[in-house]
Amino acid sequence: MSSRPELIDRTACAIVDALRQGEITTLDLLDALEARIAAVDPGVNALPTLCFDRARDCARRLMDKPAGERGRLAGMPLPIKDLTEVEGVRTTHGSPIYADHIPARSNILVQNIEAEGGVVYGKSAVPEFGAGGNTFNEVFGATLNPWNRSRSASGSSGGAAVALATGMAWVAHGNDMGGSLRNPASFCGIVGLRPTPGRVARDPGTLVDNLLAADGPMARNVADTGLLLDAMCGENPADPRSLPRLSLSYREHASQPRMPRRIAFSADLGITPVDPEVAAICRAAAEKLAGDGVLVEETHPDLSEAHEAFQTLRAFHFAASHAQKLRDFPELLKPEMVWNVEKGLKLTAAEHLKAEEQRAEMVARTVAFFDDFDLLLTPATIVPPFPIENRYVERCAGHEFETYIDWLAIAYAITLTTAPALSMPCGFTAEGLPVGLQVVARPRAEHDLLSYAAFIESELDATITTPIDPR
């Protein structure tokens, strides 16, 4: 194996262009990744399962095709989150229940990515069943933040975010219910996009009309994020939520910065405490945009019912998805999982109906809000990366949270609106830890979101240009 370490520093768009032009091969990329992972991952534990033999077999089959038939990714390697099944590759869901699980088929999402020339070489670390905003589990242990290995990488797409920040991936798959993609992006200084539900097709699971969960792309910059969204999006009859592929290219929109006319900024959406340093860094980013000619107003849509609605809808989702596991393996589930499933099993029809009505009202108010604003900006996460030994954030700015998910409200409130939301770097704390800005656009307007985010990226100049070594 002859590695070319300089490939690690390139952008994903540059890698795909070089693949199409025949300057490099997927095998070159896999060699570079394998060497980088061997050097870096023992210190951060981001990619606990690797499948390089499978990846090289896929690469050779892809390379046998004409260059024009290799899909939008043209042979780009990427990791898949360990909550999503890949045929023949150990997929644990971060749980002892599935510690030795080898799927017989891949999720629709993976099938679509591979059809577009994506080559899977590993699984990225997750918390058990994606629950909680800290990536640790009983199968593989904890994933560490590369900016300071005493801190959390957040979750549940923590392994993907760490792999990107450290050069063990050019792009990565993530998914998000209450910030599972956005929070790790914020903590690790990379970009993560939660699209409108249905933009990316996947196996629907128990709840075929689920609007809480969405899969999306993660990368080190906005253009690379658009590149992966191009490969991930599109409808599939097996996923009733899935939306048709549009004629536009998300990569092209993400590569063409466009200045928004009018932006709303809110440090807290009126529903959550926020660490003062995080709020100040995000407000400074909004003020910089105002100084560049964008109209910025401190306001937000009314999302006051978000806590009650999300707690109920999430609990219903957990009961539908995991009640059988609680019955069969109660001793193998972490306490937070047990609490969430039991809460869902106790729900009444009236409570569920009320949550659905609250969500419908918040969607309507948000759509109307975007008649007046191009974007809504907030902190992506209300705290900087916290100590890895803390299971979750228990308090912030003098406020003590009631449950293990309350600290995620600034993300899950946006989840309820179905609006696409992107987390991108906007600065660093005094300790040198990344802070992310949440950028939200009108539902189904990912193309506008990426173009506006590209403008913000150019103005803030906070994006990682080359991977970091763990610290």
φ, ψ dihedrals at 14, nearest 5°? -65, -40
CA 328 vs CA 85, 100, 188, 380: distances in Å: 21, 17, 36, 37
User: What is the rounded distance in angstroms from the CA atom of residue 462 to the CA atom of residue 157?
Assistant: 21
Choosing from 81, 123, 325, 334, which is the catalytic residue? 81
Q: How far apart are CA 244 and CA 198, in angstroms?
A: 9
Is 180 assigned a catalytic role? yes
Question: What is the rounded CA–CA span in Å between residue 375 and residue 352?
Answer: 30
Beta pairing class for 262-265 and 295-298: parallel
| Residue 63 to residues 19, 24, 115, 231, 324, Cα–Cα distance (Å) | 10, 11, 13, 18, 43
User: Which two three-digit tokens encode residue 381?
Assistant: 């996460």
Considering the candidates 95, 124, 154, 156, report the single residue annotated as catalytic. Answer: 156
Options 124, 154, 157, 180, the catalytic residue: 180
Nearest in space to 194 (alpha carbons), one of 12, 424, 463, 455: 424
Q: What are the Cα distances from residue 77, in Å, to 28, 31, 34, 93, 428?
A: 10, 11, 11, 21, 30
Catalytic: 266? no
Sheet holding 191-194, edge to edge: 171-176, 214-219, 191-194, 421-428, 434-440, 375-379, 262-265, 295-298
Of 445, 403, 420, which Cα lies nearest the Cα of 196? 420
Would you name the residues annotated as active-site residues? Answer: 81, 156, 180
